[in-house]
Structure 1
Amino acid sequence: MKAIDRALADAARQLDASSDTARLDAELLMAEALNIDRDRLILAPPDRDVPKRYWDMVERRKTGEPVAYITGRRAFWDIELHVGPGVLIPRPDSEVLISSAIEHFRDRDPPECILDLGTGPGTLLLAALDIWRDASGVGIDVSRRALSYASANARRLGFEKRLKLKLGDWAAGISDTFDLLLCNPPYVAEGEALGPGVREFEPDEALFAGDEGLDAYRVLAPQLPRLLRPGGMVAIEIGPDQADAVSALLARDGLQASVAHDLAGRPRAVLLTWAKSRN
């Protein structure tokens, strides 16, 4: 057995007590330590010594620190984003917002203007700009650190001339209208149980939203109708038990709500469109 294979097995055993994805974590960290992609690691592991930094990264992961913070990157949709402490880590569940937008615009003109409220490291906005190459976008966040990551990610992807990033509180002060609005707001109720390392490492302001997890939706509800163009769509992420409550809050002033589900079949997004009379 190669040294790399032995190290992966050993690391997975060490991580098993602190991670539900111990083997995956071990592989991702090894790929980072060797500066190769995970597919190559699995299909043709190199015959070489294990770098010391690998074990340093394993020790960090044993404390609960997210893999994305350790490696400094996270894949989302068809792009890779750089992330770090103080920034919400992109998650596969959020990809339903992008797939729902693709479906909405399949038989319509593509979106020209996209707004991402609470953009974080640019997750949703940059994925959308990668799909619709003639579109421009605006990303807003209350965190300067998040906007710094979003700006760096936009430059690395070559999108910096197609978007504006603004420090702000949701859509306050925004007077333009948009074809597509994307939003992954904080929606975790105070005191709700979270996965290992989430509460300890990721930013509270990107996670928690009051006793019911609905505070952000209440702020957004009166703002959304004035921002959405005819024929457009809002896609906003929700917790799996919030579909009815969020739909009731956001379906107003002519907007109608539907619910999209993630790959596990759980409600994951509320989609808002104008009633037919406005489209």
Structure 2
Amino acid sequence: HLLGYRDFYKHRFIVTADVLDPRPDTETLIEAALAVPFTRVLDLGTGSGCILLSLLGDRPDATGVGTDLSDAALAVAGRNAAALDLQSRATFLQSDWFADVAGSFDLIVSNPPYIAADEMAGLQADVRDHEPRMALTDEADGLTCYRIIANGAHAALNTDGHLMVEIGPTQGAAVAEMFAANGFAKIQVTQDLDGRDRVVFGQKSGG
């Protein structure tokens, strides 16, 4: 935040106090997403836009939508899209998860707030005190957002579409169970470079 930018995946992103600072762990989600076919992608809780824009940067034929509750975060995402010359393929809108999202997608990705409220005090001070709280915690058990995403994703995905989310390293089994309960197949939990569970993904089944 002092520098005003962060290098993430293949690009440099503007970051401010209004968005989560992109972390190398999240590149695990990018790599997993780029391993499946998509031309239309939805990024829920887009923040700086780093996930959506990284995906569009590697897929010249793809377009996408990034949502966030924060107007300030959406402004940062828009600046990043312009800086990377991706504004013609990326749309950003204010939405409470799926509430204002229209259309269907081949891929849904998200790095939602997953830190439990009772874990916030134990975070490093530079994270706890300088990053937007709403991007860090659901103010509950850390799993609230996954329940919403897993419940709503099936209706927003095209046939054979994929859902992928970043998780905290202890949440793999719980989030995988949510995917299964909501009709997803081929569910997998993948690890980051440190060997910690980092991404859960599944494929829409049932047509």
- Coarse TM-score class (shorter-chain normalised): over 0.9
Does 1:79 pair with 2:8? Answer: no
* Separation of aligned partners in 2, 1:115 and 1:94: 16
Counterpart in 2 of 1:242? 171
Shift of 1:221: 2.2
- Identity between Structure 1 and Structure 2 (%): 40
Shift of 1:274: 2.5
Does 1:191 pair with 2:155? Answer: no
Counterpart in 2 of 1:204? 133
Kindly report the root-mean-square deviation, in angstroms, between the aligned alpha carbons of the 2 structures: 1.3
TM-score normalised to structure 1 length: 0.70
Q: Report the secondary structure of 2:88's partner residue.
A: helix
Instruction: Give the count of matched residue pairs.
Output: 204
Match of 1:261 among 185, 191, 194: 191
Contact 2:19 2:131 in 1 (8 A): yes
Q: Report the secondary structure of 1:139's partner residue.
A: strand
User: Which amino acid letter does the alignment assign opposite residue 195 of structure 1?
Assistant: Q
Report which of the two has the higher share of helix.
Answer: 1
Match of 2:48 among 92, 106, 121: 121
The answer for unaligned runs of 5 or more in structure 1 is 1-68
Q: Structure 1 residues 175-184 or 137-146, which shifts more?
A: 175-184
Rg larger for: 1
* Separation of aligned partners in 1, 2:204 and 2:71: 33
Does 1:272 pair with 2:202? Answer: yes
Q: 1:1-279 alignment to 2 at 5 Å?
A: 69-103=1-35, 105=36, 110-192=37-119, 193-256=122-185, 257-275=187-205, 278=207
User: Which amino acid letter does the alignment assign opposite residue 139 of structure 2?
Assistant: G
Q: Report the secondary structure of 1:205's partner residue.
A: helix
Contact 2:150 2:182 in 1 (8 A): no
Q: Structure 1 residues 144-153 or 245-254, which shifts more?
A: 245-254
Shift of 1:123: 1.0
Shift of 1:158: 0.4
User: Which amino acid letter does the alignment assign opposite residue 82 of structure 1?
Assistant: I
TM-score normalised to structure 2 length: 0.94
Shift of 1:95: 0.7
Per-residue displacement from partner, 1:211-242 (whole Å, max 9, x unpaired)?
A: 32111112222111111112321110110000
Q: Report the secondary structure of 1:251's partner residue.
A: helix
* Separation of aligned partners in 2, 1:265 and 1:118: 25
* Separation of aligned partners in 2, 1:215 and 1:224: 14
Report which of the two has the higher share of strand.
Answer: 2
Shift of 1:154: 0.3
User: Which amino acid letter does the alignment assign opposite residue 60 of structure 2?
Assistant: R
* Separation of aligned partners in 2, 1:247 and 1:253: 10
Shift of 1:88: 0.6
* Separation of aligned partners in 2, 1:134 and 1:221: 27
Q: Structure 1 residues 225-234 or 88-97, which shifts more?
A: 225-234
Contact 2:95 2:101 in 1 (8 A): no
